[in-house]
Structures are given as C-alpha cells and as structure tokens.
Amino acid sequence: MEDMNLIELLDRFPDEQSCRDFIQERRWPDEITCPQCGVIGKAYKYTSGKNAGKLFKCASCRQQFT
C-alpha cells in the first residue's frame, strides 16, 4: 500500500466497514482460515447483535476470532 495523506486515507476508507473489508482481503486473500485449527472456508461471520460484521466463528472447532 502506498503512502497517503489523511484526506486520501478518508477517501479510501470512508467508513469502518470499508476498512474491515480491506483488512480481511489482505489477511485472507482466498478464503477465511481459522487461526485456531487451520480449517479453510468453514468460518462464518456474525450478522446480528453487537458483533455483527466484526466477529467470525469456525464451524469446525467453534472458536471465535476477529
């Protein structure tokens, strides 16, 4: 990622979700991988409640992660 000033940063990430999406794409370029058990593509994102869009849960080992 290139250097950018504050205005460019705010243009690129106008809200929290756009920033989360960017980080998620960098961390897991193909599929989400559980950091606990290493299973690929078997995690789901919480879609409701206070952790909506911020927390994942592995369908294999049931561990939560961000």
Enumerate the domain spans of the chain: 1-30, 31-66
Q: How many whole angstroms separate alpha carbon 15 and alpha carbon 36?
A: 29
Q: Provide the terminal-to-terminal Cα distance of the chain, rounded to the nearest Å.
A: 22
Of residues 21, 20, 19, the one with CA closest to residue 9: 19
pLDDT digits (tens, 9 = 90+) for 23-62: 999 999 999 999 999 999 999 888 888 888 789 999 999 9
pTM to 2 decimal places: 0.70
Q: How many whole angstroms separate alpha carbon 37 and alpha carbon 19?
A: 26
Predicted local distance difference test score (pLDDT) of residue 54: 83
| 3-state SS assignment for residue 12 | helix
Does position 1 have pLDDT exceeding 70, yes or no?
no
Q: How many whole angstroms separate alpha carbon 4 and alpha carbon 43?
A: 33
